[in-house]
Structure 1
């Protein structure tokens, strides 16, 4: 069952949707947000919901590189090789927990968009995502996604393209 989105939370802070839209506007992107009440928290759920290949889903994964939050934008059909990611970023990689993800990005796991975070994060994009005409990413909540081109993804996230994932 669909639930109306609120523009503000009870704390007075803009909702995740509103913060995402502000970040998209700042990046020059006008996304059409699709909402799936059954959820798009995982790459498989998102691909099934939108009817695309698993590889077209952008997983926005937060890691710590020597304690500093970084963003790995990974194809839904791949997983991050933390040793490779550490080589690319020049440090020791550990996975951020749910609180760390929210603290670094302002968003919950499963809804973290590739840009528009509370603070800028160093980001890398899985080269495999460049093979597609369009890709799908979370739009701030675990039940919303939007479509964009790989070029828009790289530009809006400020990410460098690299090989740090394995299929």
Structure 2
């Protein structure tokens, strides 16, 4: 049952099940709104945390799923993608694009699909963890599942 999950996480759960992903969303006692906090709460390497970062690029949101051990080089990524500029989205833009708050953005469960880039470095982990729609929720999946779930383009992001 998903009755124990926040409403935003129930949307994520339903999207995961529709994609054939069976990992359960876990509600953490404390917020895990950063990769180091999530890694510590889960007892995993910080690199196995799939950060959901929302940027604004060429008048549209761009979701970058990056390893918790990386920073996104927006200039280099824009060049690789043939975009004019990639800038951090405002909290309002994040909420509008995803229906979720910064620190809890899931790779799915958004009002409409987002153009997504998936950090190639996440491929080295057998299991990765992503936010479940709130800063208190996370779920496990594989790299291949993340790429399929988001219809993401694999790229170097740093």
The normalised TM-score by structure 2 is 0.93
Contact 1:138 1:145 in 2 (8 A): yes
2:28 to 25, 31, 36: 36
The residue matched to 1:61 in structure 2 has which SS? Answer: strand
What whole-Å deviation, never above 9, does each CA across 1:11-68 have from its counterpart, x for those lacking one?
xxxx101111121122221221111121111101100000000000000000011121
- State whether residues 122 and 143 of structure 2, in contact with CA within 8 Å, keep that contact through their aligned partners in structure 1: yes
| Aligned-partner Cα distance in 1 for 2:88–2:17 | 29
Residues 8-157 of structure 1 aligned to structure 2 (within 5 Å): 15-91=7-83, 92-157=85-150
4+ residue runs over 3 A deviation = none
Distance 1:55 1:67, change over 3 A: same
In the alignment of these two chains, the number of paired residues is 154
Q: Root-mean-square deviation (CA), in Å?
A: 1.2
Change (3 A) 1:48 1:19: same
Do structure 1's residue 164 and structure 2's residue 157 form an aligned pair?
yes
- Gaps of at least 5 residues in structure 2 are none
CA contact (8 A) 2:129 2:139 kept: yes
Unaligned runs of 5+ in 1: 7-14
